A and B are shown apart, each in its own frame.
Chain A
Amino acid sequence: GEDVEQSLFLSVREGDSSVINCTYTDSSSTYLYWYKQEPGAGLQLLTYIFSNMDMKQDQRLTVLLNKKDKHLSLRIADTQTGDSAIYFCADGGGGNKLTFGTGTQLKVEL
């Protein structure tokens, strides 16, 4: 079946950029998503990218997609303490289902 992998932890200083990486295996992916989860809460859709795009920018967020290598990244510019959360990438392959990565815990230090 499909597999989505992420590193488990990332620690950055406030004001620096954060880059969260994700790899996936499903070559039929149509859309790829980034969600944010704060403690005890549901998932908040941050952004998504269509599979025929290489890059998408939305304010402080930049998504890069390397379809050949099946690699997705999320860059958060000027990271703030409010960005501390778990970030999930998700692969929207064939059909309705999403396959989620393991989640990356982002810790922003002062």
Chain B
Amino acid sequence: GAVVSQHPSRVICKSGTSVKIECRSLDFQATTMFWYRQFPKKSLMLMATSNEGSKATYEQGVEKDKFLINHASLTLSTLTVTSAHPEDSSFYICSARNQETQYFGPGTRLLVL
């Protein structure tokens, strides 16, 4: 199957700082990528749809100024958590669409102190 990577896998930051998470499709081009957030023992919550060369589409209740998404190329999307707070601590997972299927990255564990 297709491979999607995320970097970093884990990050700890201080409250008020910004954190950037990268999502890459390694062996295919993805015009559409997705960013999800997962709380412990919960399902995935779609945050936004990232479209190459255009603005991301955010789900209701997700602050676009806090979670900045950039999809500058067909293999890379980035999520920047700005002015992070402890309540932003979570597991962030990206996926990339390849034809009819979404392939997921390994996730990034964010801890904000």
Contact = CB atoms under 8 A, between A and B. Distances in A.
Interface of A: 30-31, 33, 35, 40-45, 48, 88, 92, 96-98, 100-103
Interface stretch (B61-69, B80-88, B93-101): B93-101
B interface bracket (residues with beta carbon within 8 Å of A): 20 to 34
A101 B104 contact: no
Nearest to A102: B43
Nearest to B108: A42
Contacts of A96: 32, 34, 49, 97
Contact of A42 (B43, B93, B101): B93
Given A48-B101, A96-B49, A98-B102, A41 B43 contact: no
Contacts of B100: 30-31, 48, 92
Given A41-B106, A42-B106, A45-B1, A101 B43 contact: yes
A95 B6 CA distance: 24
B26 interface: no
A106 to B, nearest CB: 14
B7 interface: no
Given A43-B95, A97-B34, 12 more contacts: A31-B100, A41-B106, A41-B107, A42-B107, A45-B102, A96-B34, A96-B97, A98-B102, A101-B43, A102-B42, A103-B42, A103-B43
